[in-house]
Amino acid sequence: MSGNVSAIGFFTRTRRAGRIDITDILSWLWLIGGTVAVLVPVLWAGMSSLKPEAEITRFPPTLLPRAAVQVEVQGFDKPLSLWNVTADDETREMAMVRRIGLKAQMVDPQNPGKPVSVDTRTISPVQRLTVATENYTDPLTRFSFLTFLKNSVFVTFVATLLTLIVNALAAFALSKYRFRGDKTIFVLIISTLMIPLTVVMVPAYLVIVGVGLVDNLWGVIIPTVASPTGVFLLRQYMLTIPDELIEAARVDAASEFRIFWRIVLPLTAPALAVLAIFSVLWRWNDFLWPLIVLSSRENFTLQVGLNAFQGEFSVQWHYILAMTFLSLVPVTLVFLFLQRYITTGIAGTGMK
Amino acid sequence: MARATGLADRALDLAMALFEAPINAVERLIGKGRMPYVFLAPNLVLFGIFTFLPIAIAIGYAFTGGTELLISDRPFVGLENFRKLLTCDSYLVPGSCEESLFWTAIWNTLWFVGFNVAATLLVALVTALILNRAIAARGFFRAMFFYPVLLSPVVIGLIWKWFLDRNGLLNVFLQMLGVPPEIFLLDVGWSRFFVVVVSVWFHMGFYTLILLAGLQAIPKDLYEAAAIDAATPSRTLFRITLPLLGPSLLVVLLLLMIRSVQIFDEAWVLTNGGGPGTANTFLVQYIYQMAFAGDLRLFGLASAASVLMGLVLLVLTLVQLRLGKKVES
């Protein structure tokens, strides 16, 4: 076997029970390397978001959030910073009173007497593990994070609900009826799949201006509700529902709407669930369209707000990272719980 | 779960009670046969207003000038916008063009599309082939690679911006290796490189998944037959796996191209809106800038650029449909 190890063989050979060779090792290296590449930037941002402002841009950085220790010392109004002082092979913790050139005036915090003069080259700051929870709590109160969150939740929830209803109705019509123009309408709807928002964003914005929804959350919601992907996905699923069920309901004199609502919709639940997951992710992560439509701060969604922050407070990485992390949490939770449905949904329909 | 379904049922009941009477009245009025039009109406109205109407307006706008919003207030300028966009001494040198930013954006976009498509396809294919093997914890790795696909472009831009910062983790690694630190996003070459890296990082999981689905659809007995014939692994790859993966590869290739042309969000956040200079100014950003950023509001020019971009995407999509049909038959 060892003579047959080529780059190509590595991808194609099937594993024999009980034997591990170089192709397995390379596979594992690739997979583990990839996992590290995915996780490291995310986790690094997460760890950094816990660091105090003063520590966040230190180079080289520490892995864990740490901060310089301040102590109250008798006889001094302000808290003093604590330093390790090395003298005669002995290290002591002392508080710095002031610093003059290469000399620092230090006192013993337990027993403050007359400050002693110490060479600054022999001292290093004392640091303790400190989680800067204020990175998370400050934006909640000071930067209208909660407003952005509320807007994002509203947009995501309402848009998803409307998307499901509007597209399920259309899919029902296109899968369970034969009527004049049915094929044309289907092709027309599907053809819009290839027209990306970017191409029509200028006139779409003008339409939004025309209907008076500029700087309004409904202006973000409504244009995205009719989704060709949604119609397509739901229609394909509804085609598998037997027509006999519908015929039987008609015999029982059910109205067409009742057939849709009471029979077809519940049976489409799995497809609706997949579409709902995607719709939530689309809306939660959407950026360009809300960026265009929304102009005042109180209407920003989380993504637009985050972007605005990083423009305005580009030095305040401790806040930016904390908020980035908060906005990542819902998506991560959705993914953790629904991972299998999401991946099979995408593999099955090729949608995103 | 039972409680959740109970709740959903109650919500359905409530909506039923609300909508049934008026919709049934409509049914009695127009007859059962016309009900599909009623069901289609909300969708078609929204499509009409927010997709078809904008397409028509975009084409109309492309032929007008001025800065007014209403098309009736805008002067008709004929092909002026297109002329402006397409006038160039040499198309290879954006600086020689009347609208040099447009051509800068086009060239940036083309470079990005080329590298991004190649890199993403390669990484996704290798990953899919590996994940298709009988390897332990396959589900975990599949989920791991897929995770970034779900994140928002803004979040991804910010996370990577932090990672590539002057004081970022990448510079720490480099310092350990004795390489001097670099401000990656302020360097033209590095910033372009990392826009591609971030894009691959962001999207490869999605394409891996499509390719994986394609790989799993290849009948297993073909491999058994190849094994009986003692086919070498490379023969198996080139004679069985890749040809049968053809349709999936094609879908991935075209989706990748179409989506790469539309790069905006993550590059915008990562590069502070296209920097350094215009090194990462892409086509969508050009349109956005002309129409919305600043006070210019050059809707006509932006629309003309959109129309040109739409034509390119249309061609790509038609190629995809044509090839898709060919592969199917």
DSSP-derived secondary structure for A233-244: HHHHHHTTS-HH
CB pairs A-B closer than 8 Å: 310
**What are the two backbone dihedrals, phi and then psi, of residue B246, each rounded to the nearest 5 degrees?**
-40, -55
Q: Is B7's Cβ below 8 Å from some Cβ in A?
A: no
Residues B126-159 have pLDDT tens digits of 999 999 887 788 888 988 999 999 898 989 999 9
CB pair distance less than 8 Å for B130 and A30: yes
* Contact of B308 with B256, CB cutoff 8 Å: no
**Half-sphere exposure at residue B154, Cβ-oriented, CA atoms within 13 angstroms:** 28
- Is the ipTM higher than 0.95? The answer is no
**Which H or E run contains A55?**
helix A53-56
Whether residue B200 has pLDDT greater than 70 = yes
Whether residue A3 has pLDDT greater than 50 = no
Residues A94-104 have pLDDT tens digits of 888 888 778 88
Distance (Å, whole) CA A94 – CA A108: 5
For B105, the token pair is: 């954006």
Res B163: pLDDT: 92
Residue B295: how many CB atoms within 10 A of its CB?
A: 5
Interface of B with A in 268-297 (CB under 8 A): 269, 272, 284, 287-288, 291-292
Residue A155: how many CB atoms within 10 A of its CB?
A: 23
Residue A276: how many CB atoms within 10 A of its CB?
A: 17
Entry pTM: 0.83
Residues A250-300 have pLDDT tens digits of 898 888 899 999 899 999 988 898 899 889 988 998 998 999 999 999 999
How far CA A173 is from CA of A60, A233, A333, B174, B239, in Å, comes to: 62, 14, 35, 60, 44
Distance (Å, whole) CA A265 – CA B104: 50
Whether residue B4 has pLDDT greater than 70 = no
Residue A199: closest C-alpha in chain B: B306
Res B188: pLDDT: 93
DSSP letter for B314, please: H
% of residues, chain B, pLDDT over 70 = 97
Whether residue A227 has pLDDT greater than 90 = no
% of residues, chain A, pLDDT over 70 = 90
Q: Is B15's Cβ below 8 Å from some Cβ in A?
A: yes
Whether residue A68 has pLDDT greater than 50 = yes
Res B310: pLDDT: 87
Q: How confident is the model at residue A16 (pLDDT cuts 50, 70, 90)?
A: low
Q: Is A231's Cβ below 8 Å from some Cβ in B?
A: yes
Distance (Å, whole) CA B316 – CA B309: 11
Q: What share of chain A is helix, strand, coil (3-state, %, to 5)?
A: 65, 10, 25
Distance (Å, whole) CA B117 – CA B122: 8
Q: What is the mean pLDDT of residues A25-53?
A: 90
Res A2: pLDDT: 40
Whether residue A142 has pLDDT greater than 90 = no
For B50, the token pair is: 């927010």
* Contact of A290 with A222, CB cutoff 8 Å: no
Collapsing DSSP states into helix, strand and coil, what is residue A84? strand
The nearest CA of chain B is from the CA of A337 a distance in Å of 11
* Contact of A209 with A147, CB cutoff 8 Å: no
* Contact of A152 with A220, CB cutoff 8 Å: no
% of residues, chain A, pLDDT over 90 = 27
Q: How confident is the model at residue B1 (pLDDT cuts 50, 70, 90)?
A: very low
Collapsing DSSP states into helix, strand and coil, what is residue A116? strand
CB pair distance less than 8 Å for B210 and A347: yes
Which of B24, B127, B233 faces A9 most closely, judged by CB atoms? B233
